[in-house]
Chains A and B, each alone.
Chain A
Amino acid sequence: MSANHSHAANHGENPLRSHVIGFAISLALTFFSFGLVMSGVLASSTTLVVVVIAAAMQVFAQFHYFLHLDSSSTQRMNVMVLIYTIVIIAILVGLSLWIMYNTHIRMMPIPMAR
């Protein structure tokens, strides 16, 4: 990518092309999610499952098309660190919620005022 000034984007893969694809996917998923929640056509539990899947797809699309993370060798360290971070986040968030919801369920309801 060194000194080929104006020709840079005309050879091989155009970085803008990938950005347009990522933007279109993100836009479509955002419209879909907001539309689904605001219209309330599905039961709220079903809606939440669908919007979480849509969010996961959008995060994946943005990592892939905006940040260009993939399995190529130049990206290996970046991807490894990302996977490690996802494991830490899964432990941190998953176990926090597990502990706190169990604590909540096991607590006897306390009458607030008498």
Chain B
Amino acid sequence: MTLIVIQKGFASSVQDLGRCGYQRYGMIVGGAMDQPSAKLANWLTGNHESAAVIEFSFLGPSILFTEDTLFALTGAVCRPTLDGNSIGTGRPCLARAGQILVIGGMVYGSRGYLSVAGGVDTPLWFGSRSTYEKAGRGGFEGRLLKEHDRVPVGKPSEEMSRVMAGLAGSKRQTVRWSALPRRKYQETQTIRVMPDTLWPRFSAASREAFLKTEYQITPSSDRMGFRLNGAELMLDNPLELYSEAVTNGSIQVPRNGQPIILMTDHQSTGGYPRIAQVASADLPLLAQLPPGSTLRFQMISSEQGEAALVRQEEELEQLHRCIRVGIVKQITGFSD
């Protein structure tokens, strides 16, 4: 079974939860920028959370289904249509063979996820299907999707086949409920950060500016990193640093004083001074902010960061349970 890409959208690629365990060899982890949304998309189509999905940015792809397919869209808010009929996001939908899904532009947020029951079934490479563009491996032929690509899809579970059979009988081809993560988008987004070891080595004025002024995400931001524009950050004294491991959310400050937040496709090591680390719980939200968005940083401790992450995962797990209930009801005919 395949999906045929009719329009590629912007930077559409196959992603899962990343390729862990090989950073010591200089490989990136990669994976979905907004991981809770990718997991959610998979749960809605009965997949394991680590199944591969299609991630798109700013402008979604258009997809032709070659067979009856159960799919779901999550992440950025958009106005998708199936053969011209508007369908919602955050819910399982049935596409009949020959139907075309048009995702279009994002109304709010930057990155969306398309999952299909059975998962995108490109070959595993080092335990992951995430696209590693620089290495030309992983995902769909190691590159972004383009028109006429035929993306392979796995076989849906028995349970999902029954959901599909049920939806095939309904006019709407979808369920009445939807499941979306709780997120608070604001005009100026507050992003929680934790101090890096070098925090005290930045000048008092820089530390104050970092926490009291706004930073804007510039257009030269991508899956590797978000380049920010705002008050210059300076060390008290220049430091000679050796390259060392960095991670998602590391905020590096090159010599021009403008911070860069490392995102999913960041290199495994870096040699710039780091001022702070973005709390892991705020990374999915950050990943959704388009260029031009303004940020304000709020300092928390790494213990608070961990607590926020654990809480977020618990909430997500609750959402997962609700989806399970919704799917079971769908099969047993209690709803819709």
User: Is B a genuine binding partner of A?
Assistant: no
Binding site for B on A (CB under 8 A): none
